[in-house]
Amino acid sequence: MSRWVPFGLVSCLWLWLVVKNWRQQHYRRSLWWLGCWGLSALTWTPLAFSFGGSHVARITTSWWSGGVWVLTPLEPASIDASFWLNVVMTVPQGMLLALNWPRLRWPQWLLAGLATGLSLEGGQAIGNALVSLGRWVDINDVLTNWLGVFLGAILMTVLAKHWPVKID
């Protein structure tokens, strides 16, 4: 049960931010914080999903601080369905980034993507160390989350050029 504590605590923060922004009628910002909660739910709970096959055993791993770490990027065995789903998982957050902060440009999108990937994997590392969360801390996830946010921001920018959106 204690393995759910980190997610429970961060969920309280996200809920507070969602409600605060909703009350201020910043609905898009509320969606941003809901997206943060969704990413937390996918990465900071003790429920791990694997979409990789038997080739996962060929990934170079290390055991450190209560969890499995993957520090070698882009090994052929690590580029599987999970790899691509990590990109897809963060595209909506990149879209919300560009929607909420339309003046940001690609260097900021890259930094936001990197911050997203590092936050998600850092949260897993902290969860592993504190409550044996049982999640893999994977450099490939940092890269794919980074890419997903960046692609989402590009996609929203292109969409907004063709279908202008009123910014509240």
pLDDT of residue 167: 54
Quick one: average pLDDT of 140-156? 98
Tell me the two tokens of residue 141: 């996830």
In a domain, 53, yes or no: no
**pLDDT for residue 70:** 96
Residue 96 inside a domain? The answer is yes
Q: Does residue 94 fall inside a structural domain?
A: yes
State how many domains the chain has: 1
Cα–Cα distance for residue pair 166/168, rounded to 1 Å: 6
Which pTM value belongs to this model? 0.91
pLDDT tops 90 at residue 28: yes
Instruction: Look at residue 21 and tell me if it is in a domain.
Output: yes
Beta bridge partners of 64: 67
pLDDT at 149 over 70: yes
State the residue range of the domain holding 29.
Answer: 2-47+64-162
The residue among 16, 138, 38 whose CA lies nearest residue 93 is: 38
Task: Give the pLDDT mean for 78-107.
Answer: 95
Q: Is residue 55 part of a domain?
A: no
**Averaged pLDDT for residues 12-26:** 97
Q: Assess if residue 119 is contained within a domain.
A: yes
57 within some domain: no
Residue 49 pLDDT: 73
Q: Is the pLDDT of residue 88 over 80?
A: yes
